[in-house]
Amino acid sequence: MKSTADLHQKLGKAIELEAIKPTYQVLNVQEKKRKSLDNEVEKTANLVISNWNQQIKAKKKLMVSTKKHEALFQLVESSKQSMTEKEKRKLLNKLTKSTEKLEKEDENYYQKNMAGYSTRLKWENTLENCYQSILELEKERIQLLCNNLNQYSQHISLFGQTLTT
């Protein structure tokens, strides 16, 4: 009876040393890697969202400026006959300034969209890299579990042989 108890104790210690502790250590390391990968994805996703919000603001600003510019242009066109030369110059100067402002806002909107494109590509690349890393972690974990099962199987067969002798 005492020898059976000793065998059970040895089996328990062997499983603890060869399976439980190494598995726990590997899983802790993997958890840290996963958190790091999750943070990386979260950070790039936040960049995408931030850029998207900037694009929306730039588009709204561009639309408002375009409407104002079109209204000013219509005013100039409709009142050419009834204005003095000085008033015409004043309106044309306003129209020129409005055109310059519109060009700047259009360029700003374009730049925001190009930045958004590169940010989305970076995000997609980060997602793909993180996916590959997590896939490797899973393969490592499965390999570890297979090794643990093989060791457990060996211990159980030795345990059975020892009990029968």
Q: What would the pLDDT profile of 54-79 be if each residue is shown by its tens digit?
A: 999 999 999 999 999 999 999 888 88
Burial class (CB in 10 A: 0-12, 13-18, 19+), 155: middle
Q: At what angle do helices 85-164 and 2-15 cross, to 10 degrees?
A: 160
Using CA atoms, how far apart are residues 62 and 67, in angstroms rounded to an integer?
9
Percentage, residues of the chain above pLDDT 70 = 97
Structural domains of the chain sorted by starting position, each given as residue range(s) with its CATH number in brackets? 1-164 (1.10.287.1490)
> Which is nearest to 50 in space by CA: 105, 103, 122?
122
pLDDT of residue 112: 97
**Residues 74-94: tens digit of each pLDDT:** 988 888 778 888 888 998 899
Provide the H-helix boundaries in the chain: 2-15, 21-78, 85-164
Q: Which residues of 17-28 are buried (b: 16+ CB within 10 A; e: fewer)?
A: ebbeeeeeebee
In this predicted structure, the answer to whether residue 165 has a pLDDT above a threshold of 70 is no
Q: Is the dihedral of CA 56, 62, 64, 70 positive or negative?
A: negative
For the record, the structure tokens of 92 come out as 């044309």
121 or 22: which leads in pLDDT = 121
Of 2-6, 23-27, 62-66, 91-95, give the range with the top mean pLDDT. 62-66
